[in-house]
Amino acid sequence: MVLDCAMLYVRDFAVMAEFYRKVLAAEPGNAEWTESWAWFREARFALHAIPEAIAQEIEIASPPVAREDIPVKLIFRVTDVGAERARLEALGVRLVDRPWQTPDGAFDCLDPEGNVFQVSPGEG
C-alpha cells in the first residue's frame, strides 16, 4: 500500500486554495468540484472544504495561531531549501522559529488556518 494523497480539510477554501497555489507554485489538477476541492497532483496534496454549517463554528485567529495539537504535519521536500525559504518569505508566508532548526535545513511554516507544515531539503 502506498499513500496516494494527503488531504487537508479547510474552513475557508478560497483563501487556502490560493495560499497553496502560491506555496506549491502549482495549479490544482482537478476539473470537477473546484469550489470545494483542489488536488495538487504533483505534490500529492489536496484541499477539501469543510461543510459550511461546520465551518461557521470554527474560529481562526488573525494572525493564525499554530495548531500544534493536531496529530498530522505535512512535509514538503525541495531541492534548494535556502531559495525556498526566501521565496516563501517573499510571499509573506509565516515561518515558525524553531531553535533546533538551522537556516540551511528544514523549516516550519503556518498556513492561513494555523496548520503547521514543513519544508525539508531533499530531492524535490
Cell of 20: 497553496
pTM, full prediction = 0.89
* Average model confidence (pLDDT) across the chain: 92
Q: In the prediction, which pLDDT does 124 show?
A: 54
Mean pLDDT across the stretch 85-92?
Answer: 96
User: What is the second-level CATH architecture of the domain 1-58?
Assistant: 2-Layer Sandwich (3.30)
Strands (E), the chain: 6-10, 37-40, 45-49, 74-78, 94-96, 107-110, 116-121
Which residues, 6+ apart, have CB-to-CB distance to 69 below 8 Å? Answer: none
- Fold designation for 59-124: 2,3-Dihydroxybiphenyl 1,2-Dioxygenase; domain 1 (3.10.180)
